[in-house]
Structure 1
Amino acid sequence: MSNTHYDVLLAGAFAAFTVDLLVYPLDTLKTRFQSPQYNKIYFDASKNAINKEVLFRGLYQGIGSVILITIPSSGAFFTTYEGVKSLLGNVNPTCGGGSLLVPEPVVHSAASAVAELVSCFILTPAEVLKQNAQMFRQSSNSAQMGRANLFQQSSVTLEALKHFKKPTQLWRGYGALAARNLPFTAMQFPLYEHLKIKLKSRREKQSKSTGSLMETAVITAVSAGSAGSLAAVITTPIDVVKTRIMLSAAGEGSAANAPKEVNEAKGIGQSLTFLARRNGGVKKSGFEVAQEVFAEAGMKGLFRGAILRAVWTALGSGLYLGVYESGKMWLGHRHEGDI
């Protein structure tokens, strides 16, 4: 079975689109849990309980920017990943006994790292817009309208965009995004590739392997979900720092954007209240942000949202790579006239 670059691009884009629609609400919840505004907005101290009405409102806010950018970003990732993996595999010499000089897990980590650097550059503006849009606060009426048609919530993205004075602000957090994704993929992809091979081998030994699209999708989903959830928990502190840096991006460049109390207004345009934390135009390094989080809530603060992120990643990675691999397989067979 052979695949063209177009197959890889198309399969990656379709996988990203599918996953974004299905697991986006979990991503929104994760962002809100990690936000510096969590205790002020989403937690009711008087009742010592989560304010569910506010926390679960507008879960598809900001999805517009993600749908537009995630397709080329995912296509670029998989095209780069497959290309670099193939290139490194071809030039990887063998040692005595036929073993490879550079172990395959290292090759997979290197390929995923290069792919992430390319993908993150494309994805960062959408990620910044998305996370700021996820922190807008809606009135009950507008939230109900948004649930009726999730694409109406693209207006939240446009509202968030107004708070960015310079285009360069949209790339604020590229370093933090890359710093999170590089170790994440470096852990996930070697483990994913290993689990996938082991599961396929086990099925073959038990004479249960059919080579069908469904079997490929399930094996890939289980392998990717397991590897992704483990990597997600380990890299949660970096994800918390990345979230806070991106939420502060719109406030950089002007002291007028310093922290202030906001009032919830009425009307479709005014009911969206921007609640992301503002740093008065002062940029902070990832280390400084991590120190702030630790000072506020200790290690618990750095791992806030870890379980939710593990569940979200298990579902997202499973669906993402499951759809990608089965889609790539289907396109390959189609070229060969098998289906």
Structure 2
Amino acid sequence: MSNTHTDILLAGAIAAFTIDLLVYPLDTVKTRFQSPGYKKIYYDASKNAINRRLLFSGLYQGVGSVILITIPSSGAFFTTYEAVKSGLTKVNPILSGSTSPLVPQPIIHSVASSTAELIACFILTPAEVLKQNAQMVRNPARNSPTGSSTIFQPAVTLHALRRFKKPSQLWTGYTTLAARNLPFTAMQFPVFEHLKSSMKEYRKAHGTFTRSLGESALITSISAGSAGSVAAIITTPVDVVKTRIMLSAAGEGSEKKAKEAAESFQNQEQWLKKLANEKGGAKKGGLVVAREVLNESGIKGLFRGGTLRAAWTALGSGLYLGVYGTGRGWLGERREGGIEGEP
């Protein structure tokens, strides 16, 4: 079945919207685990236990900005990925005297996904920075004149946005986001495509392959979830560094400031107002931040939130690519008059 660019854009947008709503709470908890103020804000040393009330409050803070941006970002990713994959496959020459192509298909999948990720990251970075800073806002109801507790909580997002003096600060961490996502997608997509192809071939060999959208969605979800969880664990250290850098974009980074923020909400408000009048601290590179994490918490610090990230990535990637594949297949079938086929 062939798909138009519109099919791919719509399928990517539907997948992004659906999955953002489902897995966003897990991403919020992961961000708080990885933040420099975790032990001072979310951990009660006197009881030697996590402060669950704070850790699990406002789990949808900042989700609005992410939904608005991930829709075009996902559309751009899948459109680029499919175009590059198709283009490279067509020009990939066959070795003389063999049926094998010159460039192995996994490499083509890696190149296509990496190219798509660079474009998607540029679109996504401002929303990612804003989202992670919004996830760290405490007592969100006090920031809103209406005490809003709705799922989107726009007042919380606006509160976080006011902390940025210059628009360019919203792109802080693009390099680190790309450094995390490039190896992630370069690992995930070849494994995902291989697992998906292998599962289909296995079912064909045993005469159980039905070519239905439901079957395709299940195969895609299992393949994507398995590949995504492994890639997530491997890239967790880069994710920790990325979280620290993005939180520092609005002055969230230093331990001293985290301590001030933990003392009381009123002090936090004064601290944020002070930051708004500053140009912000000196920017730290990824290696500097990684060394800081190592000095603070050792290797465990670089893998903090790794299990949680693997869990929500397995769920998120499985559903994300499953919804994308199903949406793309359904749109293609509908356009072609209900003919079943592979998405």
**Same-fold call, TM cutoff 0.5:** yes
Residues 259 and 135 (structure 1 numbering): CA distance in 2 closer, same or farther, change over 3 Å? closer
1:187 to 2:175 alignment: no
2: CA distance, partners of 1:285 / 1:73: 25
Residues 27 and 259 (structure 1 numbering): CA distance in 2 closer, same or farther, change over 3 Å? closer
Measured on the aligned residues, the alpha-carbon RMSD in Å equals 2.6
Match of 1:99 in 2: 100
Asked whether the equivalents of residues 32 and 38 of structure 2 are also in contact (C-alpha less than 8 Å), the reply is: yes
Match of 1:216 in 2: 216
1:168-187 → structure 2 map (5 Å cutoff): 168-187=168-187
Asked whether the equivalents of residues 140 and 156 of structure 2 are also in contact (C-alpha less than 8 Å), the reply is: no
Secondary structure of 1:318 counterpart: helix
Match of 1:118 in 2: 119
- Report the Cα offset of residue 8 of structure 1: 0.2
- Report the Cα offset of residue 338 of structure 1: 1.3
Asked whether the equivalents of residues 37 and 259 of structure 2 are also in contact (C-alpha less than 8 Å), the reply is: no
1:288 is aligned with what amino acid? V
1: CA distance, partners of 2:156 / 2:38: 20
1: CA distance, partners of 2:228 / 2:297: 26
1: CA distance, partners of 2:215 / 2:175: 38
2:287 is aligned with what amino acid? F
Match of 1:167 in 2: 167
1:112 is aligned with what amino acid? S
2:47 is aligned with what amino acid? K
Asked whether the equivalents of residues 260 and 271 of structure 2 are also in contact (C-alpha less than 8 Å), the reply is: no
Runs of 4+ in 1 over 2 A off after TM superposition: 139-143, 257-260, 270-274
1: CA distance, partners of 2:191 / 2:148: 39
2:110 is aligned with what amino acid? S
Asked whether the equivalents of residues 43 and 51 of structure 2 are also in contact (C-alpha less than 8 Å), the reply is: yes
Match of 1:226 in 2: 226
1:1-339 → structure 2 map (5 Å cutoff): 1-95=1-95, 96-138=97-139, 149-151=150-152, 153-251=153-251, 261-262=260-261, 263-265=264-266, 281-338=281-338
2:246 is aligned with what amino acid? M
Q: How many residues align?
A: 329
Residues 279 and 247 (structure 1 numbering): CA distance in 2 closer, same or farther, change over 3 Å? farther
2:69 is aligned with what amino acid? I
2: CA distance, partners of 1:30 / 1:193: 28
Residues 38 and 198 (structure 1 numbering): CA distance in 2 closer, same or farther, change over 3 Å? same
1:294 is aligned with what amino acid? L
2: CA distance, partners of 1:40 / 1:173: 24
2: CA distance, partners of 1:135 / 1:77: 28
- Report the Cα offset of residue 85 of structure 1: 0.4
2: CA distance, partners of 1:179 / 1:38: 24
Asked whether the equivalents of residues 222 and 318 of structure 2 are also in contact (C-alpha less than 8 Å), the reply is: yes
2: CA distance, partners of 1:82 / 1:37: 41
- Report the Cα offset of residue 205 of structure 1: 1.4
2: CA distance, partners of 1:173 / 1:191: 27
- Report the Cα offset of residue 251 of structure 1: 2.4
1: CA distance, partners of 2:336 / 2:75: 23
* Percent identity of paired positions between Structure 1 and Structure 2: 67
1:309 is aligned with what amino acid? R
Q: Deviations over 1:124-181 (max 9, x none)?
A: 00000000000000168889x665x202x12111000000000100000000000000
1: CA distance, partners of 2:223 / 2:42: 34
1: CA distance, partners of 2:315 / 2:258: 36
- Report the Cα offset of residue 301 of structure 1: 0.1
2: CA distance, partners of 1:235 / 1:279: 31
2:260 is aligned with what amino acid? E
Asked whether the equivalents of residues 23 and 316 of structure 1 are also in contact (C-alpha less than 8 Å), the reply is: yes
- Report the Cα offset of residue 70 of structure 1: 0.5
Asked whether the equivalents of residues 64 and 154 of structure 1 are also in contact (C-alpha less than 8 Å), the reply is: yes
1: CA distance, partners of 2:162 / 2:228: 35
1:98 is aligned with what amino acid? T
Gaps of 5+ in 2: none
2:37 is aligned with what amino acid? Q
1: CA distance, partners of 2:183 / 2:301: 20
Secondary structure of 2:208 counterpart: coil
1:111 is aligned with what amino acid? A
Asked whether the equivalents of residues 258 and 279 of structure 1 are also in contact (C-alpha less than 8 Å), the reply is: no
